């Protein structure tokens, strides 16, 4: 019979062999000949056929309208577009892996928050000259830029802002949207007075969504990042977190709320304000029993610290980028058509309520007559900016690091000053990696 006990020498040998095994496997991967899947940079750029990768092709609400765009393109050009999709939460990691391995070609749908990380891989084509033909708005064009180059053609440009429930405001006797932090706090207290379990502001308090704190930090004057130096930890960021904690302690915001909870609360008429993207209106109204809720939803300028300050909002949207190599030319043409053709973009708006990114598209009666969209654009998107952390591949970790510290403050485990100091240190470390 064999004894299977492992001696110290055996364990060391095992680790050695394991390390060798992993190194060997790595070497095998590195030495693997480039097969069919790794030909993106050497493929035929003139090919009429290409891939279109988008997470939306998985989603019930978006899939039919995108498939319609693809089908119309294929019919018109006599080409074949292969639809590729990954779940949204896995999209960036899957795309990065496959782009790195040459398995992704053609047109690629990207969240604007991911553009910088993907562009840094050096696989995307510069679309600066093509973008001039699209008639895009300046805000939209900016959302597709990285390091001075246009890597993405803006498909939908919106923002994440505050949505108000006019019915609840009216019930609380609030005649107009609050414009300053002070007015906002007063409104929240009046709303709390309504009772009935109303959470005046369903602000994000769970780590997963606490990145919503950034626009509030900016409202208090923190720039987040300046000349590659993290400014979280300055007085403004501490003031913002102290204020957030005050709202939490006064029960003007609730504990353990993420975007899904906020929509649920708002949908049941138990929250008067919450943060969401423009598309949130459709999602929240659809899951509410109150069929008049959609009419009561109003975009609101984020309150400012001092009257005259610029309201803060986070830019939000999607772009189509092009991978250099196989099918590049046709994919570029497709991206330009999809993002700027007036009929295509307005039809897409009609089915998904996602505002177009071109001046002509926004001016189209179908879009312009939608009060919510036009008000949203004027009140929120016009002053929205991208996060300075999007340029880093570690953006998700950066957001999480700050979110964890803010949550520590909310639950009383840390003081705002200490928490922001720690957050700054962690973010600085992440940026340096």
Partner 1 sequence: MTTTTTTPLSGTDRLRTSATSARRTKRRRIRKDLLRSRIAAWTAILVIGAFGMLPVYWLLATALSGPEQTFQFPPKLVPTDITFSNFTALAENDQLIKYLVNSLIVASITAVLSVVVATYMGYSFSKFRYRGRRSLMHLVLASQMFPQALLLVTLYAVFSSFGLLNTYTALVLSFTTFTMPLCVWMLKGIFDTIPDALLEAASIDGASRWRTLHSIVAPLAAPGMIAAGLFAFVRGWNDFIFAVTLADKEKQTLPPGLVSTYIGEFQTAWPELMAASLVVSAPVVVAFMFLQRYLVGGMTAGSVKS
283 counts as binding partner 1 under rule CB under 8 A: yes
Beta bridge partners of 271: 199
- Give the Cα separation of 175 and 167 in Å (integer): 11
Binding mask 284-323 for partner 1 (x = CB under 8 A): ---xxx----------------------------------
Alpha-carbon span 346 to 356, nearest angstrom: 7
Percentage helix, strand, coil for the chain under 3-state DSSP, each rounded to 5: 50, 15, 35
Is 173 a binder of partner 1 (CB under 8 A)? Answer: no
Among 248, 270, 301, 422, binds partner 1 (CB under 8 A): 270
List, in order, residues 6 or more apart from 243 with CB less than 8 Å away: 181, 216, 220
The number of beta carbons lying within 10 Å of the beta carbon of residue 422 is 18
**Closest to partner 1 by CB, 61 or 72:** 61
Tell me the C-alpha distance between 158 and 134, whole Å. Answer: 17
Nearer to partner 1, 202 or 322 (CB): 202
366: how many CB neighbours lie within 10 A of its CB? Answer: 16
In this chain, which stretch among 169-177, 219-227, 280-288, 421-429 interacts with partner 1, using CB under 8 A? 280-288
**Least distance to partner 1 from the beta carbon of 419, Å?**
28
Minimum distance from CB of 62 to partner 1 (Å)?
Answer: 8
Q: Does 194 bind partner 1 (CB under 8 A)?
A: no
**Burial bucket for residue 219 (CB in 10 Å: 0-12, 13-18, 19+):** buried
Contacts with partner 1 in 63-122 (CB under 8 A)? 84-90, 94, 97-98, 101-103
Q: Does 10 bind partner 1 (CB under 8 A)?
A: yes
The SS3 call for residue 322 is: strand
**Binding-residue total with partner 1 (CB under 8 A):** 58
251 touches 192 (CB < 8 A): yes
Among 261, 275, 341, 426, binds partner 1 (CB under 8 A): 261
**Which residue in 145, 119, 86 sits closest to 317, CA to CA?**
145
Which of 26, 42, 173, 412 forms a contact with partner 1 (CB under 8 A)?
Answer: 26
CA distances from 289 to 95, 97, 284, 324, 352 (A): 38, 42, 10, 48, 21
Q: Taking CB under 8 A as the rule, does residue 2 contact partner 1?
A: yes
d(CA 379, CA 114): 25
**Quick one: 248 or 263, whose CB is closer to partner 1?**
263
Residue 196 as a binder of partner 1 (CB under 8 A): the answer is no
| Structural contact between residues 218 and 388, judged by C-beta atoms closer than 8 angstroms | no
Residue selected from 30, 75, 148, 433 as contacting partner 1 according to rule CB under 8 A: 30
Binding region for partner 1 (CB under 8 A): 1-2, 4, 6, 10, 13-15, 17-18, 21-22, 25-26, 28-30, 32-38, 55-56, 58-61, 84-90, 94, 97-98, 101-103, 260-261, 263-265, 267-268, 270, 277, 279-280, 283, 287-289
């Amino acid at each position: 019979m064999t004894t299977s006990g492992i001696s110290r020498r055996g364990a060391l040998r095992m680790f050695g062999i394991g390390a060798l095994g992993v190194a060997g496997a790595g070497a095998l991967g590195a030495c693997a000949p480039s097969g069919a899947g790794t030909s993106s940079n050497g493929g035929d750029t003139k090919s009429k056929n290409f891939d279109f990768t988008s997470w939306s092709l998985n989603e019930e609400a978006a899939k039919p309208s995108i498939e319609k765009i693809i089908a119309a393109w294929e019919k018109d050009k006599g080409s074949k577009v292969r639809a590729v999709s990954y779940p949204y939460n896995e999209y960036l990691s899957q795309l990065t892996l496959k782009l790195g391995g040459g398995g992704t070609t053609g047109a690629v749908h990207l969240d604007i928050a991911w553009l910088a990380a993907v562009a840094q891989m050096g696989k995307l084509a510069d679309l600066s000259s093509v973008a001039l033909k699209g008639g895009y708005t300046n805000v939209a064009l900016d959302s597709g830029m990285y390091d001075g180059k246009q890597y993405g053609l803006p498909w939908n440009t919106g923002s994440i802002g505050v949505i108000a429930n006019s019915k609840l405001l009216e019930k609380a006797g609030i005649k107009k949207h609050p414009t300053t932090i002070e007015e906002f706090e007063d409104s929240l207290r009046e709303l709390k007075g309504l009772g009935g379990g109303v959470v005046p502001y369903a602000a994000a308090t769970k780590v997963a969504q606490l990145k919503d704190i950034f626009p509030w930090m900016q409202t208090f004057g923190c720039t987040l990042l300046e000349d590659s130096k993290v400014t979280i930890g300055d007085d403004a960021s501490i003031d913002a977190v102290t204020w957030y904690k005050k709202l939490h302690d006064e029960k003007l915001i609730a504990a353990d709320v993420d975007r899904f909870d906020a929509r649920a609360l708002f949908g049941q008429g138990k929250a008067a304000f919450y943060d969401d993207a423009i598309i949130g209106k459709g999602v929240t109204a659809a899951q509410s029993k109150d069929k008049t809720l959609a009419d009561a939803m109003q975009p609101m300028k984020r309150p400012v610290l001092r009257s005259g300050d610029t309201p803060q909002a986070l830019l939000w949207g999607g772009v189509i980028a092009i991978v250099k190599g196989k099918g590049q030319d046709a994919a570029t043409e497709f991206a330009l058509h999809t993002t700027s053709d007036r009929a295509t973009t307005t039809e897409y708006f009609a089915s998904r309520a996602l505002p177009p990114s071109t001046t002509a598209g926004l001016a189209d009666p179908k879009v312009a007559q939608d009060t919510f969209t036009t008000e949203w654009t004027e009140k929120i998107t016009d002053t929205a900016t991208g996060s300075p952390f999007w340029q880093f591949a570690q953006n998700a970790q950066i957001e999480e690091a700050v979110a964890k510290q803010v949550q520590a403050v909310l639950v009383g485990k840390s003081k705002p000053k200490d928490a922001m100091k720690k957050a700054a240190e962690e973010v600085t470390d992440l940026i340096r990696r």
